[in-house]
Amino acid sequence: MLEKKHLKAFKKIVGEENIYDDKAHMIAYSYDATRTRYEPDAVIFPRHEEDVSAILTYCNNHKIVITPRGAGSGFTGGALPANGGIVLALEKHMNQIIEIDLENMLAIVQPGVINMDLQKHVEELGLFYPPDPASEQYSTLGGNVSENAGGMRAAKYGITKDYVMALRAVRANGDVIRAGKRTIKDVAGYNIAGILTASEGTLAVITEITLKLLPKPAYASSYMAVFPTVEDAMNAVFKSLASGANPVAMEFIDSLSVKAIKQKLGVVLPEEAGALLIGDVDGNVAEEVAFQIETLERSFKENGCSDFQVATEAKEREAIWYARRNVSQCVTLYGSKKLNEDISVPRSKLPQALERIYKIGEKYGFSVPCFGHAGDGNIHVNVMVDGSQEKELEDGHKAIEEIFQLVVDMGGTLSGEHGIGLSKAPFMSIAFNEAELALFHAIKEAFDPNNILNPGKMAL
């Protein structure tokens, strides 16, 4: 519980209408997509950067823990107030698109702007913001930067960090810092914007973001390829890319996921599908798109593809994508609780990685449907368990730990886009040695010596 003197001080900073400590707000801001709950002691809605600075200065002086939060859509607990204290909710007031610079092709936004709102806004101007996390319709750009969000277009266009040009942020002591510039080239000083990207709110509170934009492609097509086995599909991924294909997206759905989609949604999919690859290609001339489609079809068929479908019209393209966009909710066919991890491996290791992941599932008796962003080596692995059975949950977490070790041994990583947060913090020692972890802690101490910003995330 916060002392009344603290609440009074915060009300003086933001006004009574922007701070709440009632039960309804505590519950509303206690959870994210992990469904784990931690209630804060108060929720504060800063109006601008000056409020953020004043709040952090006060919290730092009084050792009050503070958790920055966007939409709370994360899968690893990055925005959960695990240690109580203040939730700093940025979505209510700090949600403006400040500037679209058409000449320099960049956007300046506040952290509470919804990803899809920026996409739609710039596309009306003939521009394009590529990062498209599955939560794009409600996740905020501040959250995207804090977690370094990915998405389906990452195979061609990269992830959030590839578009962050500059940031304004407030350190734990209230100092406002600028990181990066709105120039294409900037090699003066340390890359602080890069350090803050993916820092999960543990180092500073982001208050303004400058993002690179691209010209909007004039043409696009979607494709769906059917393969008899997962191995065939995974071999086709890296071999087609090595053949010159450059798809926007190359999404993977395995046979377990295909079965779940058919049963849950009644979607008609090929009976013989051992795996599907679904994706888009785009370009500024029709011939470029046609070349990409031809390259993919040729390479896929050389690697066992039994059927290759193409769609250019919006309705047909959406029909192809419907299965991929809804697969996550369908795999509950195999268990009441989904232990969902977003591992990433070098693309050439995908066939071997999936084979061994399925064997880990067999070892514990679990179904492990897999799908995700095969074009960039990022697969969503879902260990399905009965959430009411304690033994199954224990075994499920053992399976996850084995999968993490497998992935790291292959040169991969614990997370391709969801981040570390609370849920993966216990496994950081699998991926990083003592010297590396010590460096992380030193960076944290330099930014936040009193450890008031989002403590416990990433094991910091």
User: In this structure, what CATH number is given to the domain that contains residue 228?
Assistant: 3.40.462.10
Residue 457 lies in a domain: no
pLDDT in tens, 376-428: 999 999 999 998 899 999 999 999 999 999 999 999 999 999 999 999 999 99
State the average pLDDT over residues 165-186.
Answer: 97
Out of 92, 113, 129, pick the residue that ends a domain: 92
Domain count, the chain: 3
Query: What phi and psi, each to the nearest 5 degrees, are found at residue 406?
Result: -60, -50
**231 contacts: CB under 8 Å, gap ≥ 6:** 351, 354, 355
**Predicted confidence (pLDDT) at residue 268 exceeds the cutoff of 90:** no
State the average pLDDT over residues 244-254.
Answer: 95
How much is the pLDDT for 48?
Answer: 98
Residues of the chain with pLDDT > 70: what percent? 100
**Predicted confidence (pLDDT) at residue 259 exceeds the cutoff of 80:** yes
User: If you count DSSP H runs as helices and E runs as strands, how many of each does the chain have, helices first?
Assistant: 15, 18
State the average pLDDT over residues 219-227.
Answer: 96
**Predicted confidence (pLDDT) at residue 140 exceeds the cutoff of 80:** yes
**Predicted confidence (pLDDT) at residue 60 exceeds the cutoff of 80:** yes
My answer on whether 308 and 160 are in the same domain is no
CA 106 to centroid of chain Cα atoms: 22
**Predicted confidence (pLDDT) at residue 177 exceeds the cutoff of 80:** yes
Out of 164, 198, 215, pick the residue that ends a domain: 215
My answer on whether 247 and 393 are in the same domain is yes
My answer on whether 239 and 166 are in the same domain is no
**Predicted confidence (pLDDT) at residue 109 exceeds the cutoff of 90:** yes
Residue 25 lies in a domain: yes
My answer on whether 360 and 382 are in the same domain is yes
User: In this structure, what CATH number is given to the domain that contains residue 170?
Assistant: 3.30.465.10
As a whole number of angstroms, the distance between CA 234 and CA 382 comes to: 18
Q: In the predicted model, what is the mean pLDDT of the chain?
A: 95
How much is the pLDDT for 270?
Answer: 79
Q: Determine the residue type at 314.
A: A
How much is the pLDDT for 35?
Answer: 83
My answer on whether 281 and 399 are in the same domain is yes
State the average pLDDT over residues 138-146.
Answer: 97
If you search the block for the tokens 């947060």, which residue do you land on?
Answer: 421
pLDDT band at 304 (very low <50, low <70, confident <90, very high): very high
My answer on whether 197 and 120 are in the same domain is yes
How much is the pLDDT for 267?
Answer: 85
How much is the pLDDT for 196?
Answer: 98
Listing DSSP states for 203-267 in one string gives SEEEEEEEEE-EEPPSEEEEEEEEESSHHHHHHHHHHHHHTT---SEEEEEEHHHHHHHHHHH--
pLDDT band at 460 (very low <50, low <70, confident <90, very high): confident
State the average pLDDT over residues 319-332.
Answer: 91
Residue range of the domain that includes 173:
98-215
My answer on whether 77 and 50 are in the same domain is yes
How much is the pLDDT for 313?
Answer: 92
My answer on whether 273 and 391 are in the same domain is yes
My answer on whether 208 and 250 are in the same domain is no
pLDDT in tens, 7-44: 999 999 999 999 999 999 999 999 999 889 999 999 99
My answer on whether 368 and 251 are in the same domain is yes
User: In this structure, what CATH number is given to the domain that contains residue 11?
Assistant: 3.30.43.10
How much is the pLDDT for 269?
Answer: 83
Out of 40, 68, 92, pick the residue that ends a domain: 92
State the average pLDDT over residues 174-202.
Answer: 96
How much is the pLDDT for 65?
Answer: 98
As a whole number of angstroms, the distance between CA 251 and CA 253 comes to: 7
State the average pLDDT over residues 311-331.
Answer: 91
